[in-house]
A = this chain, B = another copy of it.
Amino acid sequence: MPNPHLHRIRVRYAESDQMGLAHHGAYVGWLEEARIEWLRANGLSYRELEVQGVLMPVTELALDYRRPLRFDDQVELTTSAVLVGPTRVAFTTVLRVAGAGEVTAEGRVTIACVGRDGRPKRLPAEVAATVGTGPEVR
């Protein structure tokens, strides 16, 4: 993967469900946190981007759950990003239990860059320069 960034989270108790597993919906917030930390690691503050009128709503989300996660598990999220158009970026995140080699889940989120008016907006140059431009490697 190009430009990968590693972020760690720990599964919260509130994120468990009565099956005894991390609820599948919790992963969506973790992927978002991982994207924001990917931006920060690349010198970009998503908070600042929004202040400047650059919003990044999610247009597509896909998650593949391979092995369960549980409350208190420490999870490593490895995220990379590629341009998929002048105003879109696809983030791919691979999840592993810390210290384990096996992939427990994989997520792919596409964001569109839009202005306050909701209209497509070219990605800021500093974002475009950071994301990969080659073929997306999954």
Contacts and interface: CB of A to CB of B under 8 A. Distances in A.
Contacts of A46: 13, 72
B28 A25 contact: yes
Interface residues of A, number: 37
A6 interface: no
A18 B60 CA distance: 19
A105 to B, nearest CB: 10
A52 to B, nearest CB: 14
Contacts of A70: 18, 47
Q: Which 10 pairs of residues, A with B, have the shortest CB-CB distance?
A: A25-B28, A16-B18, A24-B58, A47-B72, A61-B63, A14-B29, A62-B62, A18-B20, A16-B17, A14-B25
